[in-house]
Structure 1
Amino acid sequence: MTSAEFVKPSRKQRVRTLWISDVHLGTRDCQAEHLSQFLKGYHADKVYLVGDIIDGWKLRGGMYWPQAHTNVIRRLLTMAKRGTEVIYVTGNHDEFLRRYSKLILGNIQLVDEVVHVTADGRHLLVIHGDQFDVITRYHRWLAFLGDSAYEFTLTLNRWLNHWRARYGYGYWSLSAYLKHKVKTAVSFISDFEEAIAHEVTKRELHGVVCGHIHHAEIRKVGEVDYLNCGDWVESCTALIEHWDGSIELYRLADAQAKAALLKAEMVAG
């Protein structure tokens, strides 16, 4: 049994909204199996794909597209067919789609940005976020280490979790851990959050849901509600809006730990 199968929900949970970003389909580091299992566990009125869902940059350099990546697309299409509104917000790695912005195909919309109104009345800007990062508009994330070093940490991350799964351990992100420890990365994240919060204030909105920096977070930046979806390459995170308007940060590692605890309690009981 894989770790993805281990946390498979027994039935779908009804929620108002799901946000996911930075899936990077078409790359070897995409955690597509985990994402498919996550999506199977929910029935949502709306799903926002907050940019970098398909990695056009990587696909230009050579095709890598296993069945697991197709399964994610099929899962989203199935959700749309069953009534879920799917809003695809373009990012910098799937910027080739920006020429088709405002396209509507049934329950699927393609936009560059959109405003979401929560059940409790908050107006949230939903945008990928690359527009507020002068470094990664021209180069990819973690420029302080360089592109090759970032790719190396992702490769280590992939192999580390392969062996953790073999020995029954849950998912853990080495690259996300490094972001919390390296001062340059912490400073970069803070600058990004401040820049995007400033834009939200200027537009007189309550908050923002974004992605781009692969760092999941729910916090206040001044008076702005800052919510970052994270990613499905490093940390496997998403945002979930419940029917009262409250928004929860989902982390795969936390879900696996909870499932392991429940299993241990059942065995002990």
Structure 2
Amino acid sequence: MKINFLKYQGAGNDFILIDHTTSPLENIDNELIERLCDRRFGVGADGLMFVTKHEDYDFEMHYFNADGNLGSMCGNGGRCIAAFAKHLGIVDKETNFLAVDGPHYARISESGDWVDLQMIDVEIITNDGDAFVLNTGSPHYVSLQNDLSNFDVFSNGKSIRYNATYSEKGINVNFAEDKGDHLFVRTYERGVEDETYACGTGVTAVAMAMAKHKNQSGHIKTDIKVLGGDIKIEFNYDGHKFTNVFLCGPAKLVFEGEIDTLQ
């Protein structure tokens, strides 16, 4: 069976997107998804997403990690799927869609290559030593580092993700460096099991952790640089709860293709 797909990237976080609204797809299993995401033997991506119909929302987002397993919320994926829905003509400049962590609202630029995605409210942040632990739709560990450009993200991230505390369910591990006018962030993602060029829920978690670390409050805007480009986070923070949270950044079409699921 052959199916059409588009590939999008959001600050280097790349995804295979498939329209599941017009006809059901058969023979799509975890093994096939893992193969399609493989960077040598498949299309190559950090994850794969389906757009499906939903009676109460513009569409529903189904996200799978590169290992083929159903994933938790993916922020950059959410921005890319909103741009994809605009490309399909399902939505225009705004959308309300359903993801695994609940409803999301997004604003999409006229060109379709920039999306502001509203994330869930967050109230609980705990500590693991000097690090912060919170859930922004996916679980995240945030650690402050110096000289992050030369830091071994893969080895250190993997050791935390698979330690006795987090190994059973896994956690995404973010390392952040405060550069003054922006934060530099690098992330080891569970499900990909490697460092990715960006992580939307991760940079959201970092911005929140830094606001708490600095005892900030009010309407906060944070510029973040990742390996794949620039992302902006903004939210309201009253010292206890983060609300009106937006993850803002590029969501760009890379190419379109056809997959033969039998190969």
TM-score range, shorter chain: under 0.3
TM-score by length of 2: 0.25
Higher fraction of strand: 2
Which structure has more helix as a fraction of its residues? Answer: 1
